[in-house]
Structure 1
Amino acid sequence: MADLMTLREAAVILDADLVTLVHIIEVGDTVPTPPVAKDFKDIVFAPDDIEPFRAELRRRRFEAFKAEYADLYAEDTGPGARHLEFGPGWEGILREFCDGLRDFQAAGYRTRLRWGKEKFGALRLFTDCADEIAAYVGERRGIAYGKSLRTCQECGELARLRFGHSICLTLCDRHKHLVGEPDPERDGIILDVDAWSRQQREGERG
């Protein structure tokens, strides 16, 4: 069909990088109408595919969150800037955490969210806050961390940490394919990398 466009052409229209579009297609919830080719360079988009992908990109960029929580979060800019670097399935956890920060803010304490990332399948949030509430904010960060290890980072459904041979992510059954072939020595055995690492260190000292 003459109106089909390449992956690169779609990326330009969507103002998105190729890696992000390929990842969205790999997730499998939002895909182009034409059959997805085995080689990603052969993927094509129909015109009607642009709006669903645009909506998915807005979700992954946390645009609604940024608008609603502008009092707590302003995205960094410039060299070395960090952002919200994790899957959209954790947005509910992020909002709950920031609602807690708002409680502190309403009580007159300085607090804001700086950035966040996924590491070893868990959510890590970074904040600036008054010294008086640092311990309380740390507790809330710990709660968010624990919830992320039970929540699919793609869709927000119940999940667990999944280990492939080269990557680990917290995913539900529907999205577990993103880690590839499970590593039988770790998958389903290590459910919290930080806790497991602490146990290993304590065992070495013991």
Structure 2
Amino acid sequence: MADLMTLPEAAVVLGADVVTLVHIIDVGDTVPTPPVPTDFEDIVFAPDDIERFRVELRRRRFEDFKIEYSDVYTEDTGPGARHLEFGPGWRDILCEFCDGLREFQNAGSRTRLRWGKEKFGAMRLFYDCSDEIATYIAERKGIAYGKSLRTCQECGELARLRFGHSICLTLCDRHKHLVGELDPERDGIILDVDAWSRQQREGEPG
């Protein structure tokens, strides 16, 4: 057992932060070989676990995507830089959006994806493009947004927005535990926070 590595030690070796490793373990698809204790501070890794977690981190950092779509994706840099800040289950949606950018770019229009994030369980994409194609790119961004609300951001399976008491995420049945205890007043009722917010505003007296 002397070869076992603590959670902070594994984080250093993997070049990741502890919070990210804990999240991966909480998801449940990639876990250390030794049984996972109730207290995450007591998690340990066997030597063979490191490579499996390295592969998972690469997937979550979209490393292969960045190489494949380097012609239409320019990573944000500098102070306050943002990245692709959502789960790997949305990779196909991301690729479909960037395939569209590639079509416009091949036709001579300027367009680049800069960064993206998850907010209220949906994919938000940020990009630069020529004015003449702005409407078309916005339409494809809307399609990606809609698909993300039906796709588990962890695994890519069919999903819906899950409302916990302090967080909401679009997850399948297998990963719904990530939002904690479900809020019965909102879970299964609000399936698109943006649409719900618009309805609430429209219902307000003028």
Q: TM over 0.5, yes or no? A: yes
Q: 1:44 corresponds to which residue?
A: 44
Distance, in Å, in 2 between the alignment partners of 1:84 and 1:19 is 17
What is the TM-score with the length of structure 1 in the denominator? Answer: 0.99
Q: SS in structure 2 opposite 1:188? A: coil
Q: Name the counterpart of 1:179.
A: 179
Q: Structure 1, residues 162-197: CA drift from partner, whole Å, max 9, x if none?
A: 000000000000000000010000000000000000
- RMSD of the TM alignment (CA)? 0.7
Cα distance in 2, alignment partners of residues 134 and 145 from structure 1? 16
- The equivalent residue for 1:124 is 124
Query: How many residues in Structure 1 have an aligned counterpart in Structure 2?
Result: 206
Residues 96-147 of structure 1: per-residue CA shift (max 9 Å, x gap): 0000000100110000001000000000001100000000000000000000
Q: Distance in 2 between matches of 1:2 and 1:105?
A: 55
The alignment partner of 2:184 has SS state of coil
**2:60 counterpart of 1:60:** yes
For structure 2, the residue ranges without an aligned partner over 5 or more in a row are: none
Q: How does 1:1-206 map to 2 (within 5 A)?
A: 1-205=1-205
Structure 1: segments with no counterpart, 5+ residues = none
d(CA) in 2 for partners of 1:132 and 1:50? 48
Aligned partners of 2:104 and 2:196: how far apart in 1? 32
Secondary structure at the counterpart of residue 204 of structure 1: coil
Paired letter, 2:33: T
CA–CA distance in 2 between the matches of 1:195 and 1:205?
Answer: 18
Distance in structure 2 (CA, Å) of the matches to 1:55 and 1:196: 38
Look up the SS of the partner of 1:157 in the other structure: coil
SS of alignment partner, residue 66 of structure 1: helix
Amino acid at match of 2:117: K
Give percent identity, aligned residues only.
85
Q: Secondary structure at the match of 1:176?
A: helix
The TM-score normalised by the length of structure 2 is 0.99
Provide the C-alpha distance between the structure 2 equivalents of 1:39 and 1:177, rounded to a whole number of angstroms: 17
Q: 2 CA distance for matches of 1:156 and 1:189? A: 22
Tell me the amino acid that sits aligned with residue 64 of structure 1.
Answer: D
